[in-house]
Structure 1
Amino acid sequence: MPPPATPVTPGFPAPPEDRRLSPHTGWTRAHWEAVADRLLDALPPFTRPDGAAVTPPGPPSWSGPQVDGLEGFARAFLLLAVRLAGAEGADPAGRTEHWARGLAAGARRDGPGGWPDITDCSQQIVEAASIAVGLHLSRPWLWDRLPPTAQADLADWFSQAVGRRTRDNNHVLFRVVVEEFLDSVGALGDRTGIEAGLDRVDEWYRGDGWYQDGPTRRGDYRDHRDGKIHQGESTYEAGERFDYYNAWGFHYYTLLWSRMAGPRAGARAAVYRQRLHAYLAQYVHLFGGDGAPVHHGRSLSYRFACLAPLWLGALEASTPLPPGLTRRLASATLSHFVRNGAPDARGLLPLGWYGEFRPSAQAYSGPGSPYAAGKGFLGLLLPADHPVWTAPEEELPVERAGRPTALPVPGFLVHGTREDGLVRLLNHGSHYLVAPPGARRDDPHYAKFAYSTRTGPEVGGAALEQRLDNHIAVVSPGGQVSRRERIHRVAVTDHYAASWHRPRMDGDALPAACRIDSVSVVIGAWEVRVHRVVAPVGYTVREGGYALADRDRLRAGVSGTHATVRRGDGLVSAIAGLYGWTAAHVRHGQGSNAFGPYSAVPYCSAVPTAPSVPDPDPDPATATAPLRESVHVSAVLLTARGGDPAHEPPPPGFSVAVDGPVVRLDLPGHASWVVRPGAPRPVAGGPGVLRPA
């Protein structure tokens, strides 16, 4: 049964549904226009009188209130430009003049409301890119109608970005599109910076449509204590970061750059279209049946900005998705957020996921940061008679067949179930290592073993340090919990994924030989995790399942080595300790999860008793105890079919046999899985179904 399409957000003027054209969502182009208008029309009370700064309620970023005001203006202006261009200049609400005044006031560098100058590695470069793209998209109705003095002021302000140093990641593209806009209006003399920037970004392309967000080793970092940028002092390992910046960063700006450049884009445009086509073939699997995106990575307050590449695929005729599927997915995602309170009753997008939740936001995000969500409205650039708007909606991949799908480049195994429309991302590759001087280098939006479309990691308060959900840790006798920082991928297939990591504690207090090898095997709705743990004698081993969150306190139950958490709507998170675990528990939290004020995590624990093993490379400084090797097997479940007994205990008839480091998994009707965590090929057998005798 399709989810209700009628939004619950107060003040949203919901257009009539069309269940013939859109049998799954009921949404049409009119709904998209209505949401865009709602977002824009909520901002005047938070806009400076001259129109050049927009600052919704919320704490400032580390860039300060002046830059935050520019950020709010730039990101909302991009939405205004898309809305204006999609209506071919029609503006019955009379918004254009207001935004044109803001452009003129902000670009006047000697004026009282002028935007901050663009400096090296500044947030101003980021926001200049949004303004440049918006001016390009709305050129006949805005740029071309601005007074010559305003055009000159804007070109002068943009010119400060030419040749500027940027952060060595997706930020390179911000300078590229600013320079391309300047070239398009005859205000750039040398294109070498554009080509050099695009060449740099090409170095981070890893295949299958995926870009890594910057090099693995970097020499630039922002000190999180004061926001200052440091460059060239030393290099550090930054991780292999794959996330939604592929969607709202790399593909977004490379394809829009191609459109801005026109014939100047040359052969690059064809390459970018091919990469987008490959990306969308995988990206479509990261959305649940209700349209919810997997909650993973940073800048998640951008929300439906993740839809940008879907629309670009249609705009550039570079998508493997049928038109009806493109609109279905986009409308399902936007309506999912609207139904869950984003925008809120004021029409605003606060920092958070649905409602406001500051702990999941980054320090670089100001209160206007979430208006990057405007990138998700690019579909309005398609004419109303385009097949994307006129073709009947189609089912999403998870609704047609809930089978696992390997995304080997980022190291993801995407695990969907048709019965409940849930999609889970098992992470055995992508990791974000916090820059120096930070010593605790894990990030909960990257370091977990699993993420989903219905849950988020515990990131607030004490829960952040406890690292319970979707994490395996060794815990010292004093209570210190190990971190999963660098993830060394071993294998990612359509049925299992494997990786290993060295558990870290403050001061690297664990012996260098400590190691956790992990294998995830997908069996129906379950993920069976097999771990080989080398840790000091006397340390506890602990593993958690998915954190559930809700408006009210969650129900929980523990029986032996099984723990279950239930939400009132039938969503269930469970973990079953099948081998190597001695107890199960549930931790309740409050104010720690983006999905609701109350949360709970089921988890298992054990103090291994296997014989100790010698440390092959003892270090007197860290050898606090002899080491012990142990094997642990757990079954982790996240299902929306709560109450169905077949979906709550481990799979009926499932058995585990352990012989040293070798684990055999058996399920009636299936070939056995033989799992050797730590081996180059860690899984043999399965998942083929055996014919009955």
Structure 2
Amino acid sequence: MDNVSPDNKTMPPPTPSPTNTKALLLGYTDTHPFSHVPLSDRSSVQTLLRTLLDPLTPFFSPLRSRIRVPGATAVRFDQTASEIEGLLRPLWGLSCLLAGEPGAYDNTQSWIDGIAAGVDPSSPEFWGYPRDNDQRMVEMCPLGFALAVAPEIWEGLKERPGAVGNLERWLGNSINEKNMPNTNWLWFRVFANLGLKKNGGRFSQERLDKDIEHLDTFYRGDGWSNDGPEGVWQMDYYSSSFAIHFLQLLYARIAGEDGERERGRKEEFRRRARECARDLVHYYDAEGRAIPFGRSVGYRFAMVSFWGALAYADVELPEPLTWGVVKGIVLRHLRWWQTQRDIWSPAGTLTVGYSYPNMYMAENYNSPGSPYWACLAFICLAVPETHPFWTSPEEPYPLSSLPPVKPLPQPGHIMSYLGGHCMLLSSGQACSYPMKGTHAKYGAFAYSSAYAYSVPPGLFTLEQYALASQLGLSDDGGEYWKTRRVSEYAAIEYRDDKPVLVSVWKPFPDVEIKTYLIPPTEATPNYHLRVHHITSGRDLMTADGSFAISNERTQPPDGRYLDPYSTTNHEGTFPKLIGNYDNDTPEAWASGSDGAYAVSKGAVGIRALEEKDAGRRGMIVNADPNSNLVESRTCIPTLQGKLGKGQSVWYVSAVYAKPSGEGVGREEYLSGWDKVPEVPGWLKEEVGAR
């Protein structure tokens, strides 16, 4: 019965759903109910979650065991597993809602019916037992958690003859006998066993213990765990909100007190979270935005789930954090997503993408149901309403209590709050397996809460590569470009007692690049420095891109491409943006020292500082649409250059960013552009010594 589809089966009549079965239809001027919920307290967040769950109702299969979320895109696993995702990923939110308030959702019975049918081998909608490395194992995690925290789900299954036995065989026996990826996936097996254990079902304590012991080998220090064994350096949101820290904290709350070892394990997970919270707070800004970095950011508001999990696990907060601050991080983040009104399908379901539907940035495991991993954010609903997370007044982001620049050794980042946005400089991380756009998701030099990263929608010319915050190199005249993906060396070093990120990488076997990333200073807060020492064994073209920015004019507000910069309406580009691929005109170019900038939602730009860098020129890349995660139309100020075989050059660039925001007038967007940072003395010495 493996991978059975119900399409050609004779089905019993479906049980009528107790909720509205009519699909939500969003028209030209409609906005999703999600955007209209004023968020302030626990009750309002409950309402917000219901706006996420309700639109799924029309898409249940006849026996409720699957949800076919609108969107016919395929993924690397089978269609049945995709539709199991559609059912079980929303269970993260539903189970948190029920854990905090039993009976709080009218349509819970559909999930109970669906689980019973899905685990029943005699059912035409049987999910099929998992094979090695099967996607079904991932979805066992929210199911195990739901069983552990929402008694009405287990009790509902007990009322169905044979359902508990079927569940034990599907959830426990099958996963314990199969191989799993050596990643955060091992936590999913822990929770499959834990859900059964909490209800007296058949489970494997031996497997549970062995998996946690192995997962502990991923721990690297400073509270951080890596998403894999030695030799893998991948510390993205999977290390915090998507999986590892999140699930450690859930485990610390719901696992039993089975002796001293178990108590010590739970306290260790809380200790790691306290320590890591001091770092993770730097990934969010005062407006509620998180810095998009790494893979699976299509899980959207799941990026904030770590903070609700702290409350759920009763973690004692480290200074300067308070529960009012943590509450503010969560609620502002959800409010920001309420402003992203293009994340929905016309039926009101989440789409694959970030701020709008976008398959270019999707991983090959992102099915139409995958985005509902975002429901992790609602762990705060399982927190009792008497907890200080809910009773404390919401507090603003604690900018005055945080260092404006902070190095984070474990993820290999330098964080900065200077310049009006939250930014990280990055070196060294790389996905351990092939992934679409991996160089953009991990290998870019800078990531910002205000200016999201871009992925290539194609692989031909700079317009398609969309090299935001990346250095591209081409040895074929500009058709194909290579960027930093894997670094041979990467570390936070110190110059004059200040942190600098240093990496060494080879885009071609005979081309070596040493890159220095220098964070902003109080004197020039809108600039960070990006320095490359390139030694080339072949002729090359180079393109060094700044952040990407919206390429739609608002003065007048007609959405056309940006015009040349105007001091009257404080919008546009310098030099002129050429709207096609032919840049062979003087208007399209500026000197390297004059640089290039674009002004729309704030301003971004890049300019050359070092005398030996005089050969580069500034221009505006008209990036192909849908390359950026947040803005569907963008342009990228870029410095282009050439170097010959056997040549060694220094590129010293100042990268500018001043986002729009409350209290920032349009006339101020370029106010820091002419305040060019000085090249540090230590860097002048290194340049002169080569």
User: Shorter-chain TM-score: what band?
Assistant: 0.7 to 0.9
Match of 2:289 in 1: 292
Query: One-letter code of the match for 1:470?
Result: S
Tell me if the contact between 1:342 and 1:355 (Cα under 8 Å) persists in the aligned partners.
Answer: yes
Of the three residues 91, 94, 106, the one matched with 2:118 is 106
Match of 1:156 among 160, 169, 174: 169
In the aligned structure 2, how far is the partner of 1:639 from the partner of 1:8? 32
The residue identity in structure 2 corresponding to 1:583 is R
The residue type paired with residue 452 of structure 1 is: S
Structure 1 residues 38 and 521, CA, compared in 2 at 3 Å: closer, same or farther?
A: closer
| 1:452 counterpart (448, 457, 470) | 448
The answer as to 2:528 corresponding to 1:504 is no
SS of structure 1 residue aligned to 2:440? coil
Q: What is the match of residue 514 of structure 1?
A: 512
Q: State the Cα distance separating 1:483 from its structure 2 match.
A: 2.5
Indicate conservation of the 8 Å contact 1:544/1:604, yes or no: yes
CA 160–445 in structure 1, closer or farther in 2 if over 3 Å, else same: same
C-alpha change, 1:407 and 1:257, in structure 2 (3 Å) is: same
Cα shift at 1:216: 4.3
* Distance in 2 between residues matched to 1:651 and 1:587, nearest whole Å: 24
- For residue 60 of structure 1, report the CA deviation from its aligned partner: 2.4
Deviation, 1:598, is 0.8
How far apart, CA to CA, are the structure 2 residues paired with 1:515 and 1:429? Answer: 13
- Taking structure 1 as reference, are residues 399 and 548 closer, same or farther at Cα in structure 2, changes over 3 Å only? farther
Asked if the contact 2:295–2:441 (Cα under 8 Å) also holds between the matched residues in 1, the reply is yes
Shift in Å, 1:85: 1.6
Q: d(CA) in 2 for partners of 1:543 and 1:600?
A: 13
For the Cα contact (< 8 Å) 2:324–2:389, is it kept in 1? yes
In structure 2, the partner of 1:55 is 68
Does residue 46 of the first structure (1) align with residue 24 of the second (2)?
Answer: no
Question: Structure 1 residue 209 and structure 2 residue 223: aligned?
Answer: yes
1:631 and 2:650 aligned = yes
Q: Which residue in 2 is equivalent to 1:688?
A: none
Partner of 1:340: 340
In the alignment, which residue of structure 1 is the partner of 2:131? 119
Displacement of 1:120: 1.1
Pick from 127, 142, 147: which aligns with 2:153? 142
Flag the 1:502–1:401 CA change in 2: closer, same or farther, 3 A. Answer: closer
Deviates more, 1:632-641 or 1:401-410: 401-410
SS at match of 1:303: helix
Match of 2:673 in 1: 649
Which residue is 2:465 aligned to? Answer: 466
CA contact (8 A) 1:531 1:677 kept: no
| Percent of residue pairs bearing the same amino acid type | 23
Q: Provide the residue aligned with 1:11 in structure 2.
A: 33
What is the match of residue 604 of structure 1?
Answer: 639
Contact 1:408 1:492 in 2 (8 A): no
| Alignment match of 1:576 (pick from 591, 607, 613) | 607
Q: Separation in 2 of the partners of 1:678 and 1:191?
A: 61
2:92 is matched with 78
* CA distance in 1 between partners of 2:519 and 2:336 (Å): 30
Deviation at 1:163, TM superposition (A): 3.1
Given residue 117 of structure 1, which amino acid in structure 2 is its aligned partner?
Answer: Y
Partners of 2:437 and 2:452 in 1: CA distance: 19
Q: 1:110 to 1:443 in 2, by over 3 A?
A: farther
1:192 is matched by which residue type in structure 2?
E
Q: Which residue of 2 aligns with 1:21?
A: none
TM-score calculated relative to the size of structure 2? 0.81
Quote the offset at 1:395 in angstroms.
2.0
1:142 to partner: Cα distance: 1.6
Q: How many residues end up aligned between the 2 structures?
A: 600
* SS, match of residue 441 in structure 2: coil
Q: CA deviation at 1:316?
A: 2.0
Q: Tell me the residue number matched to 1:306.
A: 303
Q: 1:414 to 1:256 in 2, by over 3 A?
A: same
**8 A contact 1:72–1:371 mirrored in 2:** yes
Tell me: CA distance 1:189–1:32, structure 2 relative to 1, closer, same or farther (3 Å). closer
Q: Which amino acid aligns with 1:338?
A: Q
Residue 276 (structure 1) aligned with residue 277 (structure 2): no
SS at match of 1:347: coil
Q: Which runs of 5+ in 2 are unaligned?
A: 1-28, 553-558, 563-571, 576-589, 661-665
Cα deviation for residue 409 of structure 1 reads 0.7
The verdict on how the C-alpha distance between 1:342 and 1:588 changes in structure 2, with shifts beyond 3 A counting, is closer
1:370 is paired with a residue of what secondary structure? Answer: helix
2:236 equivalent in structure 1:
243
Matches within 5 A, 1:62-461: 62-87=76-101, 89-91=102-104, 93-139=105-151, 141-146=152-157, 147=159, 149-158=162-171, 159-188=173-202, 190-217=204-231, 239-246=232-239, 247-264=241-258, 265-318=262-315, 319-320=317-318, 321-341=321-341, 344=344, 346-398=347-399, 403-417=404-418, 420=420, 422-435=421-434, 442-461=438-457
Looking at structure 2, the residues matched to 327 and 343 of structure 1 have their Cα atoms a distance apart, in angstroms, of: 24
* Aligned mates of 1:677, 1:163 — CA distance in 2: 62
Q: How far off its partner does 1:634 sit?
A: 0.6
Query: In the superposition, relative to structure 1, how do residues 460 and 632 fare at CA in structure 2: closer, same or farther (>3 Å)?
Result: closer
CA 1:12–1:259 in 2, change beyond 3 Å: closer, same or farther?
closer
Q: Does the C-alpha gap of structure 1 residues 482 and 55 become closer, same or farther in structure 2, counting only changes over 3 Å?
A: same
Partner amino acid, structure 1, of 2:250: L
**Alpha carbons 2:148, 2:195 under 8 Å: kept:** yes
Residue type of the alignment partner of 1:107: V
CA contact 1:474–1:535 (8 Å) conserved in 2: no
Following TM superposition, by how much is the alpha carbon of 1:14 offset from its aligned partner in structure 2, in angstroms?
3.6
Relative to structure 1, is the Cα distance of residues 187 and 383 closer, same or farther in structure 2, using a 3 angstrom cutoff? Answer: closer
String of CA shifts for 1:526-558, please: whole Å, max 9, x gaps: 101222111135323331111123664343212
Once structures 1 and 2 are overlaid, which stretch shifts more, 467-476 or 560-569? 560-569
Aligned to 2:683: 663
Change (3 A) 1:357 1:477: closer
CA distance in 1, matches of 2:75, 2:437: 21
Which whole-Å CA distance do the structure 1 matches of 2:635 and 2:513 have between them?
28
List per-residue Cα deviations over 1:646-689 (Å, max 9, x = no partner).
6442425x44489xxx633xxxxxxxxx666999xxxxxxxxxx
AA matched with 2:620: V
Q: Secondary structure at the match of 2:255?
A: helix
Q: State the one-letter code of the partner of 2:266.
A: A
1:375 Cα deviation from its structure 2 partner: 0.6
Residue type at the aligned position of 1:663 = L
Give structure 1 stretches of 5+ with no counterpart. Answer: 1-6, 18-25, 218-238, 610-624, 665-673, 680-693
- What amino acid maps onto 1:262 in structure 2? G
Whether the 8 Å contact between 1:252 and 1:309 is mirrored in structure 2 is yes
2:584 corresponding residue in structure 1:
none
Larger proportion of strand: 1
- What is residue 622 of structure 1 aligned with on the other side? none
